[in-house]
Structure 1
Amino acid sequence: MILELATLAPALEPHRQAGRWFVAFSGGLDSTVLLHLLQRFCGEQPAAPPLVAIHVNHTLQAAAADWERHCARVCAALGVPLLQRQVEVDTAGSGTEAAAREARYRVFAATLRAGDVIFLAHHQDDQVETLLLRWLRGAGVRGLQGMPATRPLGTGSLSRPLLAWPRTALEDYAQRQGLEWVEDPSNTDTGFDRNYLRHQVLPLLDRRWPGYRGSVTRSARQLGFAATALDRLLPAPPPCTSRLGDPGVPVASLLQDAGIGWLVLQQWLRDLGLSTPPRAPTAEFLRQLQVAGGSPELAWNGGCLRRFGDAVYLLPPVVEMASTDRGQLAPGAPLALPGAGTLELEPAGDGPGIALGAGEFLAVRGRRGGERCQPLGRAGRQRLKKLLQEAGVPPWWRERLPLLYLGEELVAVADLWLCASPRTLAAGGSGAWRPVWRRNTSASPD
Structure 2
Amino acid sequence: MSLPDLQQHIAGQTHLLVAYSGGLDSTVLLHQLVCLRQQQPFSLRAIHIHHGLNPLAESWVAHCQQQCARWQVELEVVNVQVDGREKGIEAAAREARYRAFRQHIQPGEALLTAQHLDDQCETLLLALKRGSGPAGLAAMPDKMHAGAYVHLRPLLRQTRAQLELWAAEQQLSWIEDDSNQDTRYDRNFLRQQILPQLAARWPHFAQATARSAALCGEQEQLLDELLAESLHALIDKQGALAIQTLEPMSAVRRAALLRRWIAHHHGLMPSRDALSRIWQEVACSREDAEPRLQLGNFEVRRFRDRLYWLARHPSVRDQIIDWPVTASFLTLPAKIGRLERADKGTPVRAPQAGEAVSVRFQAQGKFHILGRAGSRPIKKIWQELGIPPWQRERTPLLFYGDRLIAAPGVFVTREGDPKQQPGWHICWQQEEQ
Q: TM-score, normalised by structure 1?
A: 0.86
Match of 1:210 in 2: 203
Question: How far 1:285 sits from its partner (Å)?
Answer: 2.7
Matches within 5 A, 1:133-152: 133-152=126-145
Matches within 5 A, 1:306-385: 306-321=301-316, 323-326=318-321, 328=323, 333=329, 335-344=331-340, 347=343, 353-356=347-350, 363-385=357-379
Unaligned 5+ runs, structure 1? none
Question: In the TM superposition, what is the alpha-carbon distance from 1:169 to its structure 2 partner?
Answer: 0.7
Structure 2 letter corresponding to 1:411: I
Counterparts of residues 3-14 of structure 1 (less than 5 Å):
3-14=1-12
1:61 positional shift? 0.9
3-state DSSP of counterpart to 2:10: helix
How far apart are 1:260 and its partner, in Å?
A: 1.9
Query: Per-residue deviation at 1:240?
Result: 5.7
Q: Give the conservation status (yes or no) of the 8 Å contact 1:362–1:404.
A: no
Alpha-carbon distance, 1:346 to partner: 5.7
- Please tell me the residue identity of whatever aligns with 1:424: P
Q: CA deviation at 1:265?
A: 1.2
Q: 1:101 to 1:237 in 2, by over 3 A?
A: same
Superposition deviation, residue 336 in structure 1? 4.4
CA distance in 1, matches of 2:239, 2:17: 33
Shift in Å, 1:112: 1.1
Aligned to 2:160: 167
1:135-172 deviation digits (Å, cap 9, x = unpaired): 22111122222112122345332211111111111000
Q: Is residue 2:382 matched to residue 1:388? A: yes
Match of 2:36 in 1: 41
User: Whole-Å Cα distance in 1 between the matches of residues 381 and 317 of structure 2?
Assistant: 25
Distance 1:348 1:170, change over 3 A: closer
Of 406, 412, 421, the residue aligned with 1:412 is: 406
The Cα of 1:374 is off from its aligned counterpart by: 0.9
CA distance in 1, matches of 2:357, 2:269: 40
Q: Residue 82 in 1 paired to residue 75 in 2?
A: yes
Distance 2:403 2:277 in 1: 46
Range with bigger deviation, 247-256 or 192-201: 247-256
Pick from 243, 255, 264 the counterpart of residue 251 of structure 1.
243
Question: Contact 1:129 / 1:197 at 8 angstroms: preserved in 2?
Answer: yes
Summarize the Cα distance change of 1:408–1:240 in structure 2 as closer, same or farther, 3 Å threshold: farther
Q: Which deviates more from structure 2 when the two are superposed, residues 197-206 or residues 85-94?
A: 197-206
Check conservation: 1:89, 1:103, Cα contact below 8 A: yes
- The structure 1 residue matched to 2:25, chosen from 26, 30, 41, is 30
Letter matched to residue 93 of structure 1 = E
Q: Does 1:122 align with 2:120?
A: no
1: CA distance between counterparts of 2:329 and 2:355? Answer: 10
Quick one: which amino acid aligns to residue 338 of structure 1?
A
Deviations along 1:266-299, one digit per CA (max 9) or x if unpaired, are 1112222333223322222323344544444221
Q: Are the structure 2 counterparts of residues 52 and 175 from structure 1 closer, same or farther at C-alpha, using a change threshold of 3 Å?
A: same
Residue of structure 1 in register with 2:274 after alignment: 281
SS in 1 for 2:219: helix
Say whether the 8 Å CA contact 1:33–1:173 is kept in structure 2: yes
Distance 1:357 1:392, change over 3 A: closer
List per-residue Cα deviations over 1:165-205 (Å, max 9, x = no partner).
11111000000000111111111122111112112222222
Q: Are 1:319 and 1:339, in contact at CA under 8 Å, matched by a contact in 2? A: no
Aligned to 2:177: 184
Contact between 2:323 and 2:358, CA under 8 Å: does it hold in 1?
Answer: yes
2:261 maps to what in 1? 268
User: Is 2:348–2:416's contact at 8 Å kept on the other side of the alignment?
Assistant: no
In 2, the alpha carbon distance for the partners of 1:37 and 1:193 equals: 30
Shift of 1:9: 1.8
CA 223–265 in structure 1, closer or farther in 2 if over 3 Å, else same: same
Overall identity of the aligned pairs, in %: 34
Aligned to 1:152, the other structure's residue is in SS state strand
Question: In the TM superposition, what is the alpha-carbon distance from 1:86 to its structure 2 partner?
Answer: 1.4
Equivalent-residue separation in structure 2 for 1:162 and 1:220 (angstroms): 15
State the TM-score, normalizing by the size of structure 2.
Answer: 0.88
3-state SS in 2 of match to 1:275: coil
Provide the secondary structure at the position in 1 that maps to 2:36.
helix
Instruction: Please list every run of 5 or more consecutive structure 2 residues that lacks an aligned counterpart in the other structure.
Output: none
| Separation (CA, whole Å) in 2 of partners of 1:236 and 1:329 | 49
Superposition RMSD in Å: 3.0
What is the one-letter code of the residue matched to 1:53? A
Structure 2 counterpart of 1:63:
56
